[in-house]
């Protein structure tokens, strides 16, 4: 027996039993040779057991979270043809082990699964995508090499998406469940929208009768004046606060065009095309303005939402959660660096002016605090507790209370003046 085959068998001794397969294949050591090998010191091609052990475990859904993340990264950065071979090879190994346990001697051809795409590009020529833009792609799953006796074969398909922070990125697929037969394929539509600057690398799992296949996604958000690091910005002094010039420009345009009296300012969403046009103007250094003031106020929120780290994320979480008295919130603001404190208080100053015009704009202090809070603080995954689903809500409520307290404090000061 081929030494490579012995290595495979040794690696799989402790595997859970693969799913039952009524139609089986001629999966012998000769038919599995798909080229996933390395050359050893003697110059002889040798099967790489480490990668394939992990791939087999991944395809069975029994690989640990840490190794899964590492293997995903390897798969996304490796040539697509090679990754497809890894997957097919792993499935053949697992099915061969299943056959051996069943003591099958005469093996029928196994229908193979084929994907129209193993990587989704969402119609982009590169990995670069725009923020807050919905992209759509699709892939089709079908059966190939159907033996005559398997014409009534049915395979159950389940789509498994990665767990993501909905404030940073949304990823949806339809349908999540389906069925494929020799005559009927299944087409899955995938939609993605990214809200914060990042490089997104992940996998969509296609589970067919217990075995997993993997469709890769690799997208990177385009660079923008709204998402670049703070130290890359040109700063100006606006209303006694040192802030990026783009924010001062947006505020000035809002005030000059009676934006403070605009009904539901900061609540209603701006026009997507208009905001793209305004972003491009800032990129080219030629801001011309717009009559759509909702787009102006939304771009202010976009600036804070797309910061690499939330403007309030420097606040220590334990300090935030322990706060009980409103008077103690000033201490939290004191934890911010000078740049972040100026940004936060600049925004509070702007929102206070909005509140002073609430008879016309219909925006109360409470409404503005609720709307703005998600843009200023982003709870990291290690700050949340899977066993305590209320923790995330508690953090959000504390941040909203902090904003309310600061708005109320500045409102009192302005009314005195």
Count of CA atoms in the C-beta half-sphere (13 A) of 53: 16
For 349, the domain range is: 230-416
Provide the pLDDT for residue 151: 63
**Residues 236, 356: one domain?**
yes
Provide the pLDDT for residue 415: 87
**Residues 161, 242: one domain?**
no
Backbone angles phi, psi at 361, to 5 degrees: -90, -10
**Residues 149, 184: one domain?**
yes
Taking the mean position of all CA atoms in its chain, how far away is CA 287? 31
**Residues 72, 117: one domain?**
no
Domain termination residue (choose one: 55, 75, 109): 109
Place of tokens 């075995």: 211
> What confidence tens digit (pLDDT) does each residue in 109-145 have?
455 788 999 999 898 867 778 788 889 999 999 887 6
Helices (H) then strands (E): counts for the chain: 13, 14
**Residues 289, 391: one domain?**
yes
Determine which helix (DSSP H) or strand (DSSP E) holds 189, and give its type and residue range: strand 186-194
Q: Name every residue whose Cβ is closer than 8 Å to that of residue 54 and which is 6 or more positions away in sequence.
A: 63, 67, 71
Cis peptide before 151 (omega within 30 of 0): no
**Residues 364, 237: one domain?**
yes
CATH of the domain at 143: 2.60.40.10
The dihedral through the CA atoms of 166, 168, 171, 172 has a sign that is: positive
d(CA 272, CA 12): 53
CATH of the domain at 371: 1.10.555.10
Residue 238 β-bridge partners: 241
Provide the pLDDT for residue 138: 94
Tally of domains in the chain: 3
Pairing of strands 186-194, 135-144: antiparallel
> What confidence tens digit (pLDDT) does each residue in 65-93 have?
888 888 888 888 877 887 888 888 788 77
The DSSP output letter for 148 is G
**Residues 102, 136: one domain?**
no
Residue 207 β-bridge partners: 158, 212
d(CA 232, CA 249): 17
CA dihedral 271, 274, 276, 279 (to 10 degrees): -120
DSSP 85-134: HHHHHHHHHHHHHHHHHHT--S-PPPPEEEES-SEE-TT-SSSEE-TT--
Q: Is 382 exposed, middle or buried (0-12, 13-18, 19+ CB in 10 A)?
A: exposed
**Residues 88, 9: one domain?**
yes
Place of tokens 């994907």: 115
Provide the pLDDT for residue 106: 39
Domain termination residue (choose one: 204, 222, 240): 222
CB contact at 8 A, 170 and 134: no
**Residues 39, 157: one domain?**
no
**Residues 244, 274: one domain?**
yes
The DSSP output letter for 383 is G
Positions of the chain with pLDDT under 70: 1-49, 96-111, 125, 145-151, 380-389
Q: Assign residue 388 a region: left if phi > 0, alpha if psi is -120 to 50, beta otherwise?
A: beta
Give which of 128, 130, 132, 36 is closest to 88, Cα–Cα. Answer: 36
Domain termination residue (choose one: 93, 109, 125): 109
**Residues 190, 118: one domain?**
yes
3-state secondary structure of 316: coil
**Residues 86, 124: one domain?**
no
Residue 214 β-bridge partners: 205
């Amino acid at each position: 027996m081929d030494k490579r085959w012995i290595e495979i068998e040794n690696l799989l001794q402790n595997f859970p039993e693969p799913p039952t397969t009524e139609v089986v294949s001629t999966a012998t050591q000769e038919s599995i040779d798909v080229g996933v090998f390395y050359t050893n010191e003697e110059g002889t091609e040798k099967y790489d057991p480490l990668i394939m052990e992990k791939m087999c475990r991944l395809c069975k859904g029994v690989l640990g979270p840490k190794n899964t993340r590492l293997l995903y990264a390897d798969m996304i950065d490796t040539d697509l043809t090679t990754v497809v071979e890894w997957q097919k090879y792993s499935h053949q190994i697992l099915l061969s082990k299943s056959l051996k346990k069943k003591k099958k001697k005469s093996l029928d051809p196994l229908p193979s699964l084929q994907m129209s795409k193993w990587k989704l590009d969402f119609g982009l020529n590169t990995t670069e995508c725009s923020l807050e833009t919905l992209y759509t792609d699709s892939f089709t799953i079908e059966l190939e090499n159907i033996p005559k006796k398997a014409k009534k074969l049915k395979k159950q398909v389940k789509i498994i998406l990665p767990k993501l922070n909905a404030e940073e990125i949304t990823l949806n697929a339809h349908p999540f469940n389906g069925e494929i037969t020799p005559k009927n394929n299944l087409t899955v539509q995938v939609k993605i929208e990214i809200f914060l600057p990042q490089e997104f690398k992940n996998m969509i799992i296609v589970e067919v009768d217990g075995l997993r296949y993997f469709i890769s996604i690799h997208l990177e958000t385009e660079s923008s004046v709204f998402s670049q690091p703070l130290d890359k910005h040109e700063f100006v002094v606006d209303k006694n606060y040192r802030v990026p010039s783009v924010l001062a420009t947006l505020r000035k345009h809002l005030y000059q065009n009676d934006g403070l009296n605009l009904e539901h300012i900061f609540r209603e969403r701006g026009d997507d095309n208009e905001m793209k046009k305004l972003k491009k103007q800032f990129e080219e250094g030629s801001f011309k303005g717009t009559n759509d003031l909702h787009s102006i106020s939304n771009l202010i929120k976009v600036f804070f939402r797309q910061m690499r780290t939330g403007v309030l994320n420097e606040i220590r979480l334990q300090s935030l959660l322990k706060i009980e008295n409103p008077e103690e919130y000033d201490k939290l603001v004191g934890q911010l660096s000078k740049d972040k404190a100026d940004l936060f208080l600049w925004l509070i100053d702007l929102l206070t002016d909005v509140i002073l015009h609430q008879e016309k704009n219909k925006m109360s202090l409470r409404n503005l605090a609720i709307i703005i809070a998600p843009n200023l603080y982003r709870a990291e995954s290690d700050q949340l507790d899977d066993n305590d689903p209320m923790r995330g809500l508690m953090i959000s409520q504390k941040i909203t209370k902090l904003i309310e307290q600061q708005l109320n404090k500045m409102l009192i000061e302005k009314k005195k003046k």
